[in-house]
Amino acid sequence: MEHGLIPPVVMEFPGITAGGAFAGTEGESSSFKYGYFNETVNLVEMVLGNGDIISASNHENQDLFRGASGAVGSLGITSLLELQLVQARRYVKATYHSVRSVGEAIEKVREEILNTELDYVDGILFSQEHGVVVTGCMTNDLPATAQAQNFNNASDPWYYLHVKEKTLRSVEPIIEYIPLAEYLFRYDRGGFWVGASAFEYFKFPFNKLTRWWLDDFLHTRMLHRALDASRQSRSYVVQDLALPTPQQKNSSTTQPNPLVFGHCGYARYAKLASQHYIPILLRPKRMV
């Protein structure tokens, strides 16, 4: 961003590296436009198991280039990447579209991904009756009547809680201007469900004051480190799916676990370049 450029697909947690995104097949809210992160990589240099250092791209070692993407490092260690870049802007003009059913959310996503002026499309489902499809476009203009909405400071709201409160009783779309970096890493504070789960685990009050007080411990790097160290990660099953769009309504509304669309449940949508699948990340099911 220092030079006015960003990758087309930026991982939403600051701790996710470019090599990790390539190895793990990362998709974000810009993926409806650019595909997965690996589809924005021109060339990768890898260290193979026998110590050889080779380059792979669509023009050389194509089998390795395509196979290493999503192979979680099993074919080699990424040592260098050549990435595509797009021009950055100062803000993201985000529009929150309220939806009142899973089917409506899916149809809204399918509608919005056809809008060529958009840079970002994803969404959150808080329950089967309350969801939000979020669209965004980069801009350098902040209207005189608007104030930038921040999510990075300790006194700022957590993104998904803010969106939930804003849209709970709203019918008309709501527009906010978010600084670009804070939009890209909007889930860093709270780490989706992980932050709220920590409060639940320690039976500690969950409110604006306690979130402010413990802010240093509630960013994704610290949260995931604590989740693994406490072995609480063994108590959850994370349902990370990519389903054909015709099947999404039925699969989402018949989930047996109410936590999937419970108080802090969510499902994220991003349209892939394949035009047939939408990834869904559901709130994990707690195992007894």
Q: What is the mean pLDDT of the chain?
A: 82
Q: Has residue 122 got a pLDDT over 50?
A: yes
pLDDT score recorded for residue 101: 87
Q: What is the pLDDT of residues 1-38, one digit of tens each?
A: 778 999 999 988 888 888 888 888 788 889 889 988 99
Q: Look at residue 287 in the predicted model and tell me its pLDDT.
A: 46
pLDDT over 60 (residue 285) = no
DSSP state of 172: S
Q: How far apart are CA 270 and CA 146, in angstroms?
A: 27
Q: Is 81 helix (H, G, I), strand (E, B) or coil?
A: strand
pLDDT of 169 reads: 87
pLDDT at residue 246, as a whole number? 54
Distances (CA, A) of 191 to 49, 142, 222: 34, 28, 10
Cα dihedral across residues 256, 261, 263, 269: positive or negative: positive
Question: Higher pLDDT residue, 255 or 59?
Answer: 59
pLDDT digits (tens, 9 = 90+) for 253-279: 444 322 222 222 334 443 333 344 444
**Each residue of 156-207: pLDDT tens digit?**
999 999 999 999 988 899 999 999 999 999 999 988 778 888 888 888 999 9
pLDDT tens by residue, 137-156 = 999 999 999 999 999 999 99
Residue 32 has what pLDDT?
A: 87
Q: How confident is the model at residue 240 (pLDDT cuts 50, 70, 90)?
A: low
What is the tens place of the pLDDT at every residue in 87-121?
Answer: 999 999 999 999 998 888 888 888 998 899 999 99
Report CA Rg, the chain. Answer: 19
